[in-house]
Structure 1
C-alpha cells in the first residue's frame, strides 16, 4: 500500500510471459499496469520477433529500438531463457513454483511437446493460473477442426466476419486497420486471469484459461450474427438496413461521423439542418425507412454539410444535441485537449532511445494507485536480477548458464 492509502490491485502477483508478438504481450502488459510483476521470457540471442518490426527508432548514437515492441511490453522485466533445452525447462519449472500466472500464445501443443504444458505445471504448482491464447482455441471438450491452424489477426478478422462488414457495397472486404483479434484476445485472457485469481481465493486452486482469437472476433461480430439468427438475413457492406444516418459524412475539409439511432435524435437533427418537416415525413420517420430511402435523404444532408468545415459542422450539431465527432487522424488525437486532459500520452524514458510518448491503457480507477507507464525491457535486461532474487542462483551459476547458452 502506498502512502496515500491506495493499493495496486495486482501487487504481489507474479506472471511469467512466455509470449511473442501481440496477444500474449498485450495481456501481460495489462497485468503489469495494475501492479503485477511480469517476467517476460525470450529466447537467448534473438528474443521476441516483435523486436524486429518497425518503426525502428534510432538515437543520436545510432542505437536502435523497435517501436512495435514498445507498444506491447512496457513495465515488464525481461529475461532470456532457452525453454527448448533441458536446463532451460528445469529453470522455467523452478520459476513456475514461485509464480501465480503463466501466459503463452504459441501454437497449441508447443508447450505440451516441450514438457512444460499446463498438465505438467499444475502438478508443480496447483495454484497456477495458466492462460493460453491461440488462433482457434485448445481446451479439451472444445476442440474444432481448425485447432492446429496458425492464425494472425488478419486471418481471424476475415473468418470471424468483421472484414465482410467493412467497406463499400460494391467493393472488397476490408481489414479494420487495427490488430483487434490480437488485442481483444489479450484483453479477454487478462479478464479470465482476474476471474481465476478471484476463484482461487475461494477454492485454493488454479486453472487453465483458453482464449481463442476466432471465438473473440465472433463475439465482437454479435450484431450481424444476431440479425442472421433472428431474421435469416446477412448484413452486407455499405448496406445498412436498420439505422440511418450513420457513418462518415464529407464536409469542406474532411469528414465528420454521426449516428441517429432513435427518433428523438432524428427530430433534433432535422431542426439543426433547418428541415423540421422531415421529422414526420413518412419516408423518414423510422430508422429502417431512412435506410431504405437513403438515396433521397443523403443529398439533403450533403447539401447542408458541403460548405462547412469539420469544426463548424461539429459545433452546430453538438449545439442541436446530435451525437457527432470529427474523423481524426493520429496527429489530431495527439493534439486533442480532451485526450491530453485524460492523460492518454504519458512520456517515458525508453533505453536506448530516450524520451518518447506512448499510448496509455485507458482504465481509470478511483481507489487504486496508478502504475506509471514505464519502459519495455532490453533483451535479457533482468536475467541476472530474476535468477538471483527469485531462484537464489549465485553469480557463478548464472555465468555457467550463460556459457552453456541456456540464458
Structure 2
C-alpha cells in the first residue's frame, strides 16, 4: 500500500551538488521529509562513494553499500559541470528549485560560477546550504577556509579525538563519518529554518555549515571545563564522576553512567554495599573518580556471575539507566529497532 500521508517538504525541490557523506546525508533527510532531490553526479563515475566497498549485488547489479546508505529517495542527473552547457543546465535547474546543497571542495563552486552569489541572481528565493570543513561565510572565514576536510580532520581539531581512548594510548577516532553525518543533520536543520524564514520574507539565503564548528559544539564539556577552570580534561580519565563506561558481565558488557550521588546510592544498594553511600571514598563523584581502582572491582565482582540481561534488569529496576553493549548481531536481533522502523527488511 502506498503511504499517502502528506510530508512537510512535499513540493520543495532540492539540487544536490554533493559527494561523499555530509551533503548526501543532508539531502537524504530532506528527501525523507518529502522533498524532490536531484543529485548531480559526474558523468561516467558518479559520486566517489559508488566505488567504495562493501558492495551488494542484486539482479546482476552491483552497488556500494555506503552509497545506498546516504542516497535513498533521490533522483540522479549526470552533468558535466566543467562544460558551459552543463553549468547552464544547472543554472536553469536552480532557477526552478528551492534549495541547493553543496559540499564540493572549497572554491570549486566559485570557480564554476555556481556559488550562492551567482545562483541567487537567477532565483532570489533560493536557499543555498554549503557544507565545508571550516566554514565559508564571508566575514567569518579563517585561514583554514580553503582547506579540504574529511570527518577525522574536524574530530582532531575540535579536541574530540584527544579525549577518545585511554591515557596511555594515542588519540583515536569515534564513529566513522560522525562529523559528516552530524554536519548533514545540522545543514538540514538550517535549510528547514531558512525555508520557514522565506515564508516570512519571500527571500532566500545562504546557510553556512562548518564540520569543525559542529564537532566543537558537541565537545561542550571540554569547552565548559576549560572556560570555567582553565583546566583541560584528560583522555581516559574521569575527574568529577564515576562510574561511566562498560563493565564486564558473564556474557559480555553493560554500559552505565552515574552523573550524581542519587544514582550512586541506588547502585550501592543494588549491589549489596549500602555502606558505599556514605564512605568518604565514594560519597561524591569526585571521590569516586579518585578511588575508581578501589570501586571498580566491587562492581565487576557483583556482575561476574550474572548475564547482561540480569544486570540490566536489576539496575534498571532500581532506577539506574543501564544497557547491554550491543554488537551488530545484537542490534539486528533486537525487535525494538524494527518496532521503531529503525531497521527495515530489504
Q: Same fold (TM over 0.5)?
A: yes
Matched, 1:49 2:59: no
**Given the alignment, which residue of 319, 322, 325 partners 1:324?**
322
Question: Partner of 2:101 in structure 1?
Answer: 103
**Of 66, 75, 88, the match for 2:64:** 66
Q: Which string of whole-angstrom CA distances, capped at 9 and with x for unpartnered residues, describes residues 318-368 of structure 1?
A: 222211000001111111122121111123xxxxxxxx3xxxxxxxxxxxx
Q: Decide which of 251, 267, 286 is 2:265's aligned counterpart.
A: 267
Of 291, 306, 324, the match for 1:308: 306
Q: Distance in 1 between matches of 2:336 and 2:35?
A: 29
Selected match of 1:159 from 157, 166, 178: 157
Pairing partner for 1:75 from 59, 73, 76:
73
Matches within 5 A, 1:223-262: 223-262=221-260
Indicate the residue corresponding to 2:10 in structure 1.
11
Runs of 4+ in structure 1 displaced over 3 angstroms?
Answer: none
Please, what is the CA RMSD of the aligned residues?
Answer: 1.3
- Residues in 2 aligned to 1:3 and 1:30: alpha-carbon distance in whole angstroms: 18
Deviation at 1:314, TM superposition (A): 1.2
- Could you tell me how far apart the structure 2 residues matched to 1:25 and 1:48 are? 10
Distance 1:142 1:123 in 2: 23
Map of 1:382 onto structure 2: none
Tell me which residue corresponds to 1:397: none
Are 1:25 and 2:24 an aligned pair?
A: yes
1:115 lines up with 2:118 in the alignment: no
Q: Deviations over 1:260-303 (max 9, x none)?
A: 11222111111110111111112211111111111111111111
Distance 2:163 2:56 in 1: 35
Number of residues of Structure 1 aligned to a counterpart in Structure 2: 345
Highest relative contact order (Cα 8 Å, sep 6+), 1 or 2?
A: 1
CA distance in 2, matches of 1:135, 1:91: 28
Secondary structure of 2:121's partner? Answer: helix
Please give the TM-score of this superposition, normalised by the length of structure 2: 0.97
Return the match for 2:166 from 160, 168, 183.
168
- CA shift at 1:252, angstroms? 1.8
2:120 is paired with a residue whose SS is: helix
Q: Distance in 2 between matches of 1:60 and 1:212?
A: 40
* Partner SS, residue 187 of structure 1: helix
1:124 alignment partner, SS class:
coil
User: How far off its partner does 1:60 sit?
Assistant: 5.8
Q: Any conservation in 1 of the 2:106–2:148 contact (CA below 8 Å)? A: no
- The question of 1:215 aligning with 2:213 is answered yes
1:174-213 to 2 correspondences below 5 Å: 174-213=172-211
How far off its partner does 1:309 sit? 1.6
Q: Superposed, which structure 2 residues align to 1:356-371 within 5 Å?
A: 356=346
- Tell me, in whole angstroms, the C-alpha distance in 2 between the residues paired with 1:233 and 1:34: 43
Give the unaligned 5+ runs of structure 2.
Answer: none
Distance 1:113 1:3 in 2: 42
TM normalised by structure 1 equals 0.83
Which moved further from structure 2: 291-300 or 29-38? 291-300
2:146 pairs, out of 145, 148, 151, with 148
In the TM superposition, what is the alpha-carbon distance from 1:177 to its structure 2 partner? Answer: 2.5
